[in-house]
Structures are given as structure tokens and as C-alpha cells.
Amino acid sequence: MLKRIHLNLARNPEFPNGSSDHGYEFLAPLTADGTLDDVAWPKLRSRCTVRRFWPGAADEHGHLVHTRHKTWAFHYDDSDSDNDEPIFKFDSHLFREGEYVTITEHDGVARTFRVARVI
């Protein structure tokens, strides 16, 4: 039921070819059509982990959370909810290789990531 989803930084002015060295890997329940399963998530929430990897910085580890505002975010274990990374329309994204998702990171910048793998 849980899928391992690997996101790589998509093309942008700083990285015209994108970057597989910058990204996220997380576990999440997906429906048959490839969207996040918010019905299964409460039962699996403790297993829905995330790792943010970025050169020059220590990996950050946390959890995928579904907030009281019905939005999804990455919450890091050593931070309060003010530092959560909200994910734009995460509930309607298809998690299939080649799809794109936008994450607003700690620095307030919204960056686009490409789904590189779903296992």
C-alpha cells in the first residue's frame, strides 16, 4: 500500500538540466490511479516518512502530514509547524514517473520537482 516516491529538482534557471542531487524521497499511500490516499493515510501516518537531500546540507528527515486545513506538507522532526513545507495541490497530483510537483521550501521559494521513481 505504501509507495516510495523519489523527486528530483526539475529544470530551472540555476539548473537548466534539473538535478538528481537535489530532491526528496518519501513513503506515502497511493490510490489505484496514483494520487495520495487520504483515507489510508491516518492508519499509516507513522510510516509516511520523508528525506530531503541537498548537496552541502545534512539530510533532513520528517513525515508527510495532512494538516487540519486539508493540505499536505512535509514536517521535519526537529521543527515546529511554521517550518513545514507545503505542497501545492498535492492531493490532486498523479505520482507517476515524469509528472511534476511544486514544493514551497523552508526558504519560502516554490521549487518544481519531477517524479523520478515510484516503487
What is the pTM (predicted TM-score) of this model? 0.92
Whole-number Cα distances in Å, 50 to 60, 76, 100, 107? 8, 8, 17, 18
Q: What is the pLDDT along the chain (119 residues), one digit of tens a residue?
A: 899 999 999 999 999 999 999 999 999 999 999 999 999 999 999 999 999 999 999 999 999 998 877 889 999 976 666 668 888 888 789 999 999 999 999 888 999 999 999 99
Strand residues in 10-99 grouped as ranges (E):
19-29, 49-54, 57-66, 72-76, 85-86
